[in-house]
Structures are given as C-alpha cells and as structure tokens.
Amino acid sequence: MIDALFSWLLLPLGFALGWALSRGYPHQGRAITPEKLGGLVTHLVSDNPDETLAALSEAAEMDSSAAEMHLTLGNLFRKRGEVDRALHIHEDLLARPNLPPELRNQARFELAQDYHKAGLMDRAEEISLALAAEGQYTVPSLELVRTIYEQGRDWEQAIRISRRIESAKGESKREVIAQYYCELAEEARARKDAAAALDLAERAASEDPSCIRAQLLLGALQEAAGEGAEAAKHYRLAFERDPRFLPEVIEPLRRCAEKTGDAEAYLLFLQDAKEMSPSSLPILAEAHLMRQEGLEVADYLAQGLETRPGRAVLAEFLEVLEHQPGVVAAGLDKPAASLRSAIRKLMETTPRYRCSHCGFSPRQLFWQCPSCKQWATTTPIDDVLKS
Ligand SMILES: [Zn+2]
C-alpha cells in the first residue's frame, strides 16, 4: 500500500510541495517550512489522506499555489479510484470565494470528471456543457459529454456533440459519426423498421465512405430485402476496403450468389480474395463447391495447405481423409477423426477478433471495443497458422 502511495501520491505531490517550498509565501509569512513538509510526508506514508489534506490546508491558507496542490491531489485521488475524496477536494475548492477564475474553471472541469467517474452523469454533463459554452476547456469538456452520450447510447446527441467538437477542434469526427449512424441503423433494424435502417446505414456510408461496418450493414439489409445483387456489391465493397474482413463476407457472398444464380461472380470473388488476402478461406470455399459437384478434393486441399495452412482447411482435409479407403484400411481414420475434432474445438475456443488498439481478443465482433472503447479497431484474426 505504501509503495502504491509513493507512486501515486508522494512523487507528484513532492514536486508540488517542493515548488511551493521554493516559492514560499512571503506575503503571508506562512511558508511551508521543512518541518511542515516533513509532517506532510509522514501523513502520506501513514496512508492517511484526511490528515494529509488537513496538513495541506494548515500549511498554507488558500492562495493560488495551495489551490494547485489541491487540484493535483484531487486528480490523483480520482485516478486511484477514490472518487469521494476527489469530489470532496474539488467541491471544497469551489466553495472558496477567492479562487482565481482560471483555477475555478480547472476545478469545475475536474469536478465534472469526478461526477462522471462517480456515475452522476447529469451533473457531469451540466458542468461540461456550461464550461464549453463559456469557451473554457471546450474540447475536453465536449469530449467528456460525448463519452456520456455514448455510455447512455444516446446516438443522436452523440452525433450532435461530435459536430460541435469538429468545429471547436477543427478536426474531422466523420469516422465516429458514421459509427453512431450505424448504431441508429442497428436499432431501427432491431425494431423491424427496414426503411429507416437502410436510410441510416446509407447516411453512415456517406458520412464515412471507408466505413466497413456501414457496407456490411447495407449488405445485410439489402440481402434481407431480397436484393441479392445489391447486397453482394456492398459485401464486396467491405472486403475491398479491408481484406481482413473476408471471414465476414465470404459466406454472405455465397448466399447471394445462390439466390441470384450468379455463380460466376462468386468464383471471380474467390479468385480476387486469394490475391488480396492471405486467408485460407477461399481454398475452403472452393473445396466446398468442388464437393458439391462430386469432385475429389483431397489433393486440392493438400495443395492449399502448403501455401495457406489454415486451421479450417486442415480440419476439412482431415475430414476428407477419414473417408479415404486407403486410410480406413490402414486404421488411420480414427486418429484423423480425433485430430479433426481437436482442431475444431480449438477453433471454437480461440479468439476470432483482436483490437489493434489494446489487444483485447473477443470471440465476437465489437464495433466499439469493450475494453478500450475505441471504435472500429477490432478486426478478424487471420486463420492461417504462422510459424
Ligand atoms: Zn481495444
């Protein structure tokens, strides 16, 4: 515990105290003396923040440098998860009538963050919006409000506040705005309002033409509406934007080809996919087509395994092998079946996606990473086994 205190509190506070000590408080004759500093450090190592605070307040009455020390301390308490203490410090600071305006605004912004962390979203929102309206801490305040709307899944407000951030910061927020439109489209889809869902997904795609999620959503909506050719166009676009999304489109594209009867388009796509992606999935898809035609695929899969040793292809190969007369006669069909079953189990339990921002590896695709809260950083993991 004392070690943690040293890292969180003692070092930064030591700097603040050292700075205050070097300045002294000649106008009040209440400089922090080495004795008082020693007393503060004793309180800190005794892990008693209340006494530390009391000592701080005693050491110097509220002039600006002491207020800055309180701000530092409050910030540290919040980072440590001690929100009540942070709130207490910042509320106490704001109750002081002589606090200079810049420190008052800083304390208000800190307080907004405390309220957010404490789950008091209305209060955090109110302070942040007031600060932004006064042109104080504008971008960080608006960003905090954006986070609050995201957490409340209030996507329309999140879009509105993002537009304000765009103009305040002079930086595009189109990527995240497209994600909010996709969220609205998903909600419309869930309440079976296909027309609204399509309109919102199209807005997402026009907001950010590189948005893969919007293309996948448009593909799914068009497919559900029976528009196979239109759906295939969007699925292909999603793949072309980022070939790592092949696992998300390969099966939908097969379904579309089946519905439209355009097998050639699907075969052409598989050719392109082999060129654009190192994945073994096109080999697997081609083998499925060959099996449907009654063709022998063992050699084809064996060849595919040499260049793209994916787990799915390996499992398929073993399944084909199990039924080869020579393999059965040699009594190798059972070991092949066990190995295939082990590979399939492994495939069912290993992560399928990874967030490029924080490394979080879930089994399902999240458009906002549940761990780091970044948007569109999670992509499918390549199935090909690497040495
Ligand atoms: Zn992440």
pLDDT per position in the chain (387 positions), as tens? 444 444 444 444 444 444 444 444 333 434 455 455 555 555 554 566 666 666 665 554 455 668 888 898 899 999 999 999 999 999 999 998 888 999 999 999 999 999 999 999 999 999 999 999 999 999 999 999 999 999 999 999 999 999 999 999 999 999 999 999 999 999 999 999 999 999 999 999 999 999 999 999 999 999 999 999 999 999 999 999 999 999 999 999 999 999 999 999 999 999 999 999 999 999 999 999 999 999 999 999 999 999 888 888 999 999 988 888 888 888 888 888 999 999 999 888 888 999 999 999 999 999 999 999 999 999 999 877 664
Assess whether 97 and 195 both reside in one domain: no
Total count of domains within the chain: 4
Distance from CA of residue 161 to its chain's centroid?
Answer: 19
Q: Which CATH number is 211's domain given?
A: 1.25.40.10
Q: Residue 368 forms beta bridges with which residues?
A: 375
Which pLDDT score, from 0 to 100, does residue 43 have?
A: 54
Angle at the Cα of 96 (from 95 to 98), degrees rounded to 5? Answer: 145
Q: How far is the CA of 365 from the centre of ligand 1 (A)?
A: 12
Q: How far is the CA of 381 from the centre of ligand 1 (A)?
A: 14
363 phi, psi to nearest 5 deg: -90, -20
For residue 173, give the DSSP letter.
-
Q: How far is the CA of 366 from the centre of ligand 1 (A)?
A: 10
Contact 333, 347 (CB under 8 A): no
Determine whether the annotation assigns residue 355 to a binding site: yes
Quote the CA–CA distance of 248 and 305 in Å, as a whole number.
22
- Give CA separation, 29 vs 26, 56, 219, in Å: 5, 16, 74
Assess whether 13 and 93 both reside in one domain: yes
Assess whether 374 and 315 both reside in one domain: no
Assess whether 286 and 179 both reside in one domain: no
Count CB-CB contacts under 10 A for residue 111: 23
Contact 12, 74 (CB under 8 A): no
User: What are the structure tokens assigned to 161, written together?
Assistant: 């506040």
Q: How far is the CA of 212 from the centre of ligand 1 (A)?
A: 17
Q: How far is the CA of 176 from the centre of ligand 1 (A)?
A: 15
Answer yes or no: is 221 within a domain: yes
Q: How far is the CA of 373 from the centre of ligand 1 (A)?
A: 6
Answer yes or no: is 163 within a domain: no
Contact 80, 34 (CB under 8 A): no
Assess whether 261 and 250 both reside in one domain: yes
Cβ neighbours for 87, distance < 8 A, ≥ 6 positions apart:
111, 114, 115, 118
Residue at which a domain ends, from 118, 150, 184 = 118
Q: How far is the CA of 384 from the centre of ligand 1 (A)?
A: 23
Answer yes or no: is 136 within a domain: no
Q: How far is the CA of 173 from the centre of ligand 1 (A)?
A: 19
Quote the CA–CA distance of 286 and 279 in Å, as a whole number.
13
Assess whether 9 and 106 both reside in one domain: yes
Quote the CA–CA distance of 315 and 81 in Å, as a whole number.
48
Q: Considering Cα of 308, then 311, then 312, then 315, what sign does the dihedral take?
A: positive
Which pLDDT score, from 0 to 100, does residue 29 have?
A: 39
Residue 379 domain boundaries:
351-387
Contact 213, 229 (CB under 8 A): no
Determine whether the annotation assigns residue 358 to a binding site: yes
Which pLDDT score, from 0 to 100, does residue 36 have?
A: 53
Determine whether the annotation assigns residue 256 to a binding site: no
Answer yes or no: is 242 within a domain: yes
Assess whether 270 and 345 both reside in one domain: no
Quote the CA–CA distance of 321 and 303 in Å, as a whole number.
14
Contact 316, 290 (CB under 8 A): no
Q: How far is the CA of 189 from the centre of ligand 1 (A)?
A: 26
Residue with tokens 């209060």: 123
Which pLDDT score, from 0 to 100, does residue 17 have?
A: 46
Assess whether 334 and 372 both reside in one domain: no
Angle at the Cα of 49 (from 53 to 14), degrees rounded to 5? Answer: 75
Answer yes or no: is 128 within a domain: no
Q: Is 307 helix (H, G, I), strand (E, B) or coil?
A: helix
Q: How far is the CA of 360 from the centre of ligand 1 (A)?
A: 5
Q: How far is the CA of 215 from the centre of ligand 1 (A)?
A: 22
Quote the CA–CA distance of 251 and 199 in Å, as a whole number.
25
Assess whether 9 and 111 both reside in one domain: yes
What does DSSP say about strands 378-380 and 353-355: parallel, antiparallel, or unpaired?
A: antiparallel
- Residue 310's nearest CA partner among 237, 241, 258, 250 is 250
Percentage helix, strand, coil for the chain under 3-state DSSP, each rounded to 5: 70, 5, 25
Answer yes or no: is 371 within a domain: yes
Assess whether 107 and 206 both reside in one domain: no
- Using alpha carbons only, how large is the chain's radius of gyration in Å? 30
Residue at which a domain ends, from 275, 299, 315 = 275
Q: How far is the CA of 181 from the centre of ligand 1 (A)?
A: 21
Quote the CA–CA distance of 355 and 365 in Å, as a whole number.
10
Residue at which a domain ends, from 216, 245, 275 = 275
Contact 355, 219 (CB under 8 A): no
Assess whether 23 and 75 both reside in one domain: yes
Q: How far is the CA of 14 from the centre of ligand 1 (A)?
A: 34
Which pLDDT score, from 0 to 100, does residue 6 have?
A: 41
Q: How far is the CA of 113 from the centre of ligand 1 (A)?
A: 22
Answer yes or no: is 131 within a domain: no
Which pLDDT score, from 0 to 100, does residue 161 have?
A: 98
Q: How far is the CA of 211 from the centre of ligand 1 (A)?
A: 18
Assess whether 179 and 80 both reside in one domain: no
Answer yes or no: is 159 within a domain: no
